[in-house]
Chain A
Amino acid sequence: MAIGIDLVPSVQLSRVAESEKHGENSPYFAGWKAYDEDPYHEVENPSGVIQMGLAENQVSFDLLEDYLEKHPEASIWGKGALGFREKALFQDYHGLLSFRKAMTSFMEQIRGGRAKFDSERIVLTAGATAANELLTFILANPGDALLVPTPYYPGFDRDLRWRTGVRIVPIICNSSNNFQITPQVLEAAYENAESLNLRVRGVLITNPSNPLGATIQRQVLEEILDFVARKNIHLVSDEIYSGSAFSSSEFVSVAEVLESRPDRHHRYRDRVHIVYSLSKDLGLPGFRVGTIYSYNDKVVATARRMSSFTLISSQTQHLLACMLSDTEFTSRYIETNRARLKKRYGIIVEGLEKAGIECLGGNAGLFCWMNLSPLLENLDREGELELWKTLVYELKLNISPGSSCHCSEPGWFRVCFANMSEHTLEVALARIQKYVEQRMNAVII
């Protein structure tokens, strides 16, 4: 790589290029840098930083490899020519019909068959990141606002705001009711936006929630739907962790709620959009596969055209079409994956309990939401950041602080458990237990 002297460029760049809205200077990402510089390795670097800030699913990976070994045709591209009609249809952004059908089938399986999806309403994007940004471009004008319940995935600050020029107004949830969304907090957020002279265009929820690691209850979904209908705005439901709920019955999709009330279905459908991805449930973030599923024809048409900026390659579609249309494989995968995640969750919650640390009751996802407020010197944001620094630089655990998720209460942290081996998880838990013990001894002395 050529090393040159960086002269101040004489020609200007855009505000987007120069803005900080990519968010990469926040603690959320600073912890990652610490990990990159000193990554833990069981043998070669056992005292390195353990990455617990990355929500990646590596627990069910062997099942995928097993499938590929037994089904060589999936990974061969070029064989089996498409029929001339399908070839014609496959002009970039429509995507392979077989793949879209396979996706809808997979999404239906995850929901236990309680919702039906139409493959013509699937729009493909290169990952859920792109899907969320794309929907924001479509549903809101620059300067408009989306309401997002806190705590939320730190990446939303970038994905929803950076290029789109749209604002996020938080729906402030708190621990008194396990951070659930209520009509009161929804209304408060809307009024807050109005007082800032912002036009609200929609609500974006993550279900199951990141970082809470919990599904949203049916009753709450109904209330949210009522709210968006009343305010004449949209609802985006990011369901990328739907296949990572520990049991199928625990997860209720907004699609199910829509279908269970056909009378309301008609009134609500044009405002509901679902985002899905294979990065979390199938553990394939490298493949960059995301989808938008919308009940609104205009949104589907627009999203499809705009998806030309975020395409999925045909080999990837082909491989996944083979894999996901094998319903025997997928049902086995979904069941096994759920069980393994549940087990991991059990291990980490038990380990944290031993250290006297409480977690929010979770039932989904690749992480748990733990309450470290008893360990804070000062019960405020600075206190939380101080503790976070200790966790990253002394305990060598990259854990995400609640403030980067815009949590209204200090002391909450998100810890991921699915991107490592069980052994590594035990090592991490041991470090936490040791640290808490030391703190308690220090107090006693």
Chain B
Amino acid sequence: MTRTRSYIDRNLDPDEDYRAAASSKTTSSGGGGGSGGAAMRVIVPLQGIVQGRGGLVLGSVIPCALFYFLRLYLKRHRSGPSKTPPPSPSSSSDQLTDVSTGVLQRSLSRAYLSPRGSAAPAHVSSRAASVLKDGDSPYFVGLKRFQEDPYDELANPNGIIQLGYAENKLCLDLVREWALANGRHAILGDELSISWLTTYKPFDGLMKLKLVVAEFMSQITEGSASFDPSQLVLTAGSSTAIEMLTFCLSDPGNAFLVPTPYYPGFDGDVKWRSGVEIIPVPCRSADNFSLSINALDRAFYQAKKRGVRVRGIILSNPSNPVGTLLKRETLYDLLDFVSEKNIHLVCNEIFAGSSHGGEEFVSVAEAVKSEDCDRSRVHMVYGLSDDMCLTGFNIGVIYSSNNNVLAASKKLSRFTSISTLTQQLLISMLSDASFVQNFIRVNQKRLQKMYGEFVAGLKKLGIKCTKSTGGFCCWADMSGLIRSYNEKGEMELWGKLLNIGKINVTPGSCCQCIEPGWFRFCFSTLSEDDVPVVMERIRKVSESCKSLG
């Protein structure tokens, strides 16, 4: 009790201020957060009563109060089992329900809960506090562990193998070869001069680069969609493209519907700085995790009832982590849905060029063409880092037909511009038509091969994956190996995989998957020789799980 109380006390000031500021200044009231604050304001004085002046009153008042707040807490989280702790302003309400309901705490460490901290008297914002708290999620913990002990075939064969980061290294050799042969000339030109590169340039990207990127995007869709370069805004990475659209399309307290399981990074991209919420819309393994318009509809209305304004839908196609492609009919249904609800659609197509299953990829840009729909509500995010093995280049793209969105994005791009050096290198690379064509072809082949080997390896171990035809990941069902069919069981297995198996994978709970036991394996960071090593390690863990029964 005392420990909880000290958490509450320490959290009291900054959170209260944030809510006070938010409620007095904001025009759109958000959903959660309010109850937590009200809870704190009542509980702290009550505890004072408990400690000192007691009496009959506390025997009845306190259980009643606790019961009231429990109901309030459950009501707030009715839309689905909340897999991540609510954002910072409500963090203290987590503590409260700990006391009253004994709910299992998800986070591995509460070290960063208090914005004040013990050493730093200077305050950090609640936005910062929630970012720090997110740092305890398995996504970041696994990353950190990998960085401390990275696997290397020769130098560190017992290190941790990274399977938790969707990065494509399969064709890095092609890119390196090209850069070594052409890079210097691409940047310096014939006169060995960089003078024109160093000065201020349009923040949303050089027009020359937009031209070649538009052309490349068209190639990726095999000519079924064409892209107008003047409708592109280039950004330093695709995370920032998503965030930028969040800022353009929604206000603090609003929400986006996002089908689960979804890419863990969306939580940061959408929520961290904008004050906007994600409402997860569960998809089920029974449907191969495919999108259900009915589920979207239900989620939309539930949000409305709670007083939360939904501004749009965000989804990935090909999907990350599942790796499936949206069918044409589903896309059309989706477009009808957003039109009917008068909301936006943000389609993240960063793996469009990495489909490997032979299935037809239909871009939203193509679907919008054929349908007689309002294009002003449809926005696409793309990026070259993944399709072109160009992590480190950080090239993101926003493509929209909505001139107001484009205008706002162009102005916002000053916060996230791509270095002219990199732009110049890319212009050169993407203009090399034979290189690009060869690259796309070889990349797809290698992805297909690696995917096939990886899935076969897992199958031998009795682990099934959903059939995926795009992207860099396998979505594997390991529920057979978890001790208890819940998040706790899943996290236990994740921990075993990391600490005993020495592989870093992404647990389904990070992706907001409602069915425990699913894990995401990114196979594109591996070489062929690594696959048997990975399988052996998984086998060891699997056996140790089975023997414990």
Q: Answer yes or no: do A and B interact.
A: yes
Interface positions of A (Cβ within 8 A of B): 1-2, 6-7, 9-18, 22, 24, 54, 56, 58, 61, 64-65, 68-69, 72, 75-79, 84-85, 87-92, 126-127, 129-130, 133, 137-144, 159, 163-165, 199, 201, 232-234, 270-271, 283-289, 296-299, 301-302, 305-306, 308-316, 319
List residues of chain B with CB within 8 A of the CB of A140. Answer: 125
Query: B425 near A: Cβ within 8 Å?
Result: yes
Q: Would B126 and A311 count as touching, CB distance under 8 A?
A: no
Q: Would A232 and B408 count as touching, CB distance under 8 A?
A: no
User: CB-CB contacts of B402-427 with A at 8 A, as 1s and 0s?
Assistant: 11110010011011111111100100
In the complex, the chain A residue whose C-beta lies closest to that of B112 is A298
A-B contact pairs, 21 of them (CB 8 A): A11-B377, A13-B248, A16-B247, A16-B408, A17-B249, A17-B404, A61-B198, A69-B192, A72-B184, A78-B180, A79-B180, A127-B415, A142-B21, A142-B26, A199-B21, A287-B421, A297-B120, A298-B112, A302-B124, A313-B394, A315-B425
Q: Would A84 and B425 count as touching, CB distance under 8 A?
A: no
Known interface pairs A92-B394, A129-B414, A138-B128; A11-B342 also in contact (CB < 8 Å): yes
Measured CA separation A289–B237 after assembly (Å): 15
B382 to chain A, nearest CB (A): 16
Which bracket fits the contact residues of B?
A: 35 or more
List residues of chain A with CB within 8 A of the CB of B249. Answer: 13-14, 17
Q: Would B342 and A10 count as touching, CB distance under 8 A?
A: yes
Known interface pairs A129-B415, A286-B201, A313-B421; A78-B404 also in contact (CB < 8 Å): no
List residues of chain B with CB within 8 A of the CB of A309. Answer: 236-237, 239-240, 243, 269, 273, 415-416
Q: Add 15 more A-B contacts to A91-B147, A309-B416 (CB < 8 A).
A: A13-B249, A65-B194, A69-B192, A85-B150, A92-B392, A127-B417, A130-B416, A163-B274, A165-B25, A201-B125, A232-B123, A286-B419, A299-B128, A308-B237, A314-B392
User: CB-CB contacts of B190-215 with A at 8 A, as 1s and 0s?
Assistant: 00111101111100000000000000
List residues of chain B with CB within 8 A of the CB of A234. Answer: 122
In the complex, the chain A residue whose C-beta lies closest to that of B395 is A313
Q: Would A301 and B132 count as touching, CB distance under 8 A?
A: yes
Q: Would A64 and B194 count as touching, CB distance under 8 A?
A: yes
A324 to chain B, nearest CB (A): 15
List residues of chain A with CB within 8 A of the CB of B422. Answer: 313, 315-316
Q: Which of B156, B201, B252, B268 contacts A142 (CB 8 A)?
A: B252
Measured CA separation A76–B251 after assembly (Å): 44
List residues of chain B with CB within 8 A of the CB of A233. Answer: 122
Q: Would A137 and B125 count as touching, CB distance under 8 A?
A: yes
List residues of chain A with CB within 8 A of the CB of B415. Answer: 126-127, 129-130, 133, 159, 163, 309-310
Q: Which residues from 369 to 411 on chain B have a C-beta closer than 8 Å to any C-beta of chain A?
A: 374, 376-377, 391-394, 402-405, 408, 411
Q: Would B195 and A14 count as touching, CB distance under 8 A?
A: no
Q: Which residues from 118 to 160 on chain B have a C-beta closer than 8 Å to any C-beta of chain A?
A: 119-128, 131-132, 134-135, 143, 146-147, 150, 152, 155-156
List residues of chain A with CB within 8 A of the CB of B201. Answer: 286
Query: B17 near A: Cβ within 8 Å?
Result: yes
Query: B544 near A: Cβ within 8 Å?
Result: no
Measured CA separation A203–B183 after assembly (Å): 44
List residues of chain B with CB within 8 A of the CB of A88. Answer: 146-147, 150, 162
List residues of chain B with CB within 8 A of the CB of A232. Answer: 121-123
Measured CA separation A68–B197 after assembly (Å): 13
Q: Would B131 and A286 count as touching, CB distance under 8 A?
A: no
B526 to chain A, nearest CB (A): 14
Q: Would B17 and A199 count as touching, CB distance under 8 A?
A: yes
List residues of chain A with CB within 8 A of the CB of B250. Answer: 14
Q: Would B199 and A15 count as touching, CB distance under 8 A?
A: no
In the complex, the chain A residue whose C-beta lies closest to that of B228 is A2
Q: Would A138 and B162 count as touching, CB distance under 8 A?
A: no
Q: Which of B198, B311, B418 contacts A313 (CB 8 A)?
A: B418
Query: B491 near A: Cβ within 8 Å?
Result: no
Q: Would A316 and B128 count as touching, CB distance under 8 A?
A: no
Q: Would A75 and B25 count as touching, CB distance under 8 A?
A: no
Measured CA separation A245–B105 after assembly (Å): 54
Measured CA separation A361–B71 after assembly (Å): 67
List residues of chain B with CB within 8 A of the CB of A78. Answer: 175-177, 179-180, 183
Measured CA separation A17–B123 after assembly (Å): 29
